[in-house]
Structure 1
Amino acid sequence: MKFSRCIGASMLIILIAMLSMYPLTVQAKKAVDVSPALNDLNHAITALQHGKSAETDYSSFKKWWQNNKTTVSKSSLDASIQLSQDISSASLDLLNGNRAQSIKSLSALRQTLQDYQSGLYGGTTKSGHQSLSSYITELGNAKQSMSQKDWVTAASQVKQLQQDWLSVEGDVVSQSQSIYTESEKNLVMMDAYLADPKMHAKALPLVEEMITSLKPLASANYGMWDAALIPIREGLEALLVIGALLTFARKANSKPAKVWIWSGTSLAVLVCLAVGVLVSFLLSVAAFGNNNSLINGWSGVIASLMLLYVGYWLHRNADIKRWNAFITSKTSQAISKQKMISFAALAFIAVLREGMETVIFLIGMAGRMPAVQLASGIAAGFGVLIVIGFLMLKLGVLLPLRPFFMISSFVVFYLCFKFMGSGIHSLQMAGILPSTVSDTLPSINSLSIFPSWYSTIPQVACLLLFIFIILKERRAAASH
């Protein structure tokens, strides 16, 4: 009952938060056609790269700006201010005759125009809900730069695509988990390829693959089950962690441990909802993108290390004699306070990691489908999680001691392996770790195995530790 009440309360709070976002949804004003301006800037940059004068093309661009400045300002004050700043910088660099700096300034100006064209600016502030169609336009701009071998611009555009991904990932994951995972991986790989002059050419097929896979999703309509699948998909792994911890606490007959675990879980839910409100009312989803990658990255790595310890502890206590000794040698509170705090911390991190994704994904869907369908979808998704959690706890208690500990330890080891890979991948998305890629490494999305030594080496280390723990405990059991 406590499990159902906790999940039910979380669901109610999330429903209220999601529905409160609908009044904020504002129809963006129609953007100005920037194709002539982009054409002028492309010619000006090309001329400078070939040692020629860019005066004619840049003058043509400035005429376009004078004719459209007022309209752009009405469409988006934020875009107008940024364009004015970029134009001032580019004009000054061209006047000083600094060719290299002029190319950089014009490229920055072109990027701002492309962002405006893509719909990244809306109303009087930067839009928090970029459409998937506009994101595909951004991909097309990056593809054009790669096709023209303008690798510097392409690298900048891919960095921007990584930041903007959070604005559209909810659209993608609600329709196809495989396309979502593959696209996120491609963003990291493109960044790595563009950072290495010898591998530049490998980036173009990846951006083409993303465009091809995302286009069919751009015109799709959302339904109730699209919203329902998000909490189910994102919450299942956190549920496995919490279920294993709660079942263990029940087998140890430790009520304080249950309180600590639920406290960590509840605190994580509140933090996720607070972030959701912050993003909805104060920040844009895109502005929060890098912070979300950092949270996912560090929480994944920390949770992985904690799961490694919990997995070892569960596997160790699979021996019935050792378990009985553990229970009888302690007071009625068989689990130490330090261990209960670690359980609470693990529950907090696991729920924070998955809950943050869930809230951000649902924010991305708010305003893009009827409020009733969104609310029904969230309710259905959490309803399924309640049923799964209830069955998990019941079956966990009914299982004999040794099978329970063995199954739980392998589930925890699996999550440890997966969290480590996905956590490091998120840190690469955030730019904390280099986006290096090796063609000799495998790529298995379901296990969060990515073709990078930065994620592969820690995962191999985890795997070797798993094997060592299993062999060690088998030897210990055989000696008894």
Structure 2
Amino acid sequence: MLFPFLIMFREGVEAALVVGIIASYLKQTGRTHLMKSVWLGIVLATLVCLAVAIFLQISSQDFPQQEQELFAGVISFVAVGVLTWMVFWMRRAARSIKGELQSQIEAAIQSGDKWGIALVGMAFFAVLREGLETVVFLLATFQQNLGIQAPVGALFGYAAAVAVGVGIYQGGIRINLRRFFKWTGAFIILVAAGLLASGIRAFHEAGVWNALQTVVFDASRVLPNNGFIGSLLAGFFGYNDAPTVSEAIVYFGYLIPTMLLFLGGNAGQKTTARHS
């Protein structure tokens, strides 16, 4: 439940941050009549994301077992790619996003856009980007058969993100964006490494990848996948009680350099900020 919650919460906060900045700026400048354009963009993006999620979920269920495993592996790899891009992009954009959005809003309004079409587009693409990323992440999670916990966790994450968005708009919530995206980003990189290992395992079960299948260790008697703790670790981090050499290689081959680059980049930004 925690991983779907975190994914939905983080992605929701990113979308809520953009929408909250737009709404707050319109409120501060006495242009609340343009909020209908923002809501229209949000609704349209939400409908598109729901349609994509339903289509992918229904399509994957029609596949034979081997094709389902292949689909799960592909989705896992796509999710890891998008996750990685997301955490690095937000680390760079967190500091300047408010000023850039306000400049874009002012430019759109001064261009004579009486119907607020530009605001519809800004809200639409902000929500659509985060929504489609969330669809990919959650679909990869649902492929792991976590039962009702996954959708329930996602629902709670969505509700928490909406609450944060309302708080941002009302001015009652102020988030240290750099710290928030640093720690959630580090956790997501850890989760992404597990997704990558799960993807390799799915490719093997689909008959696509059969190399390096020697088992590194067998912890099934100590910490089995179907036990309470094992199932939690499997849901959060892609734990496997009998990982193969190929799973271990992709797990640590991704985790170590990516985490060092992510955390090292944060340290580099601090140093630059001190000297600027």
TM-score (norm 2): 0.47
Greater relative contact order (CA < 8 Å, ≥ 6 in sequence): 2
Whichever of the two has the greater Rg, that structure is 1
TM-score (norm 1): 0.29
